[in-house]
Amino acid sequence: MLIRPFRAFVLACAWLGASAHAVYPDKPVRLIVPWAPGGSTDAVARAVAQRMSETLGQSVLVDNRSGASGRIGTEAAAKAPPDGYTIAIVELPHAIAPAVFTKMPYDLLRDFTPISMVGTAPLLLFVNGTQYKNGDIKGFLKNGRASAVPLTLANSGNGAISHLSGELLAGATGLKINAIPYRGSAPALTDVAAGLVTGHFATLASGSSLLSAGKLSVLMVTGSSRSAGLPEVPTASEAGIAGMQFNQWWALVAPATTPIEIVERLRKEAVAALAHPATRERLTTLGIDLKGSSRDELRAFIRQEVEQWGEVVRKAGIRPE
């Protein structure tokens, strides 16, 4: 006698669960950016979030949680409910961090499920605009080697790609450098423009406004080719600096056990956002090469980056903290 009512109850619960998934999203989605506002990651996240808000039918709200070289915000994302209402943007520093920090509050491969790749961009060495002209990396190296005191290179925190870039530059050129940590590229570049620190490695997106105002100059770019917007600026290889052919990258991830159907919905919306003309115009002018991906492609890419940068850190002699 109790079988039929119980069966009806089970079927009702299953129907309610399916309905809950079917109406996703029924409230705003939070996109955690683990850096301060104003940097390239923030710019990328806001451009993608704006377009996804229009197509998802719910707002995608950017939540900046900076600190601890990106670990604070990323940990918050890893521990968020896996319901599709919290996602995060991760990047190259997240692949470097396991080799730099002995205690990590999350595992990039275990605690997240990939959504989609977002894009890549070379790093630029920014310096004060009144001290050097664009492309004068030879003058910078000459003055740096002759200086009685170490150069000060700002970075976005220990383990950030801006930090490792400075270490690689010092190792390849013999420059003496003091690393100065900041909470992101935006405050770091403000101090470079003010002459308070010597330089900072960042993407064009982070320094474009100060560069356009003449307060910053760019001495070189990482990667294999020159920036289309700065044809006079050589690559690191062209400047005779080895080991700096790499790009910054960004990707979207969700907490590990987020339902796959929700992750795939987010992936499709993100890829569509990257292909939209308004998003492309907004980000490609900042030197960012937009590229979506499948979830499996992103998972394999992140795994490869973690392994590759772990080896780079070891060869550079950087001791884990």
- What pLDDT score was predicted for residue 44? 94
Superfamily of segment(s) 124-221: Periplasmic binding protein-like II (3.40.190.10)
Percent of the chain at pLDDT exceeding 90: 74
Q: How confident is the model at residue 5 (pLDDT cuts 50, 70, 90)?
A: low
Asked if 249 and 90 count as a contact pair (C-beta separation under 8 A), the reply is no
CATH topology of domain 28-121+248-316: D-Maltodextrin-Binding Protein; domain 2 (3.40.190)
Q: How confident is the model at residue 70 (pLDDT cuts 50, 70, 90)?
A: confident
Pairwise CA distance, residues 40 & 206, whole Å: 5
pLDDT at 37 over 70: yes
Return the domain boundaries, the chain. Answer: 28-121+248-316, 124-221
Nearest CA to 119 among 224, 277, 274?
A: 274
Residues 269-316 have pLDDT tens digits of 999 999 999 999 999 888 899 999 999 999 999 999 999 999 888 887
Secondary structure of residue 243 in the 3-state scheme: coil
The pTM of this model reads 0.82
pLDDT at 9 over 70: no
Same fold, 28-121+248-316 and 124-221: yes
- What pLDDT score was predicted for residue 255? 98
pLDDT at 94 over 80: yes
Residues 98-150 have pLDDT tens digits of 998 888 999 999 999 999 999 999 999 999 999 999 999 999 999 999 999 99
Is residue 283 within a helix (H) or strand (E), and if so which, with residue range?
A: helix 277-284
> Which residue bears the tokens 């129907």?
15
- What pLDDT score was predicted for residue 15? 47
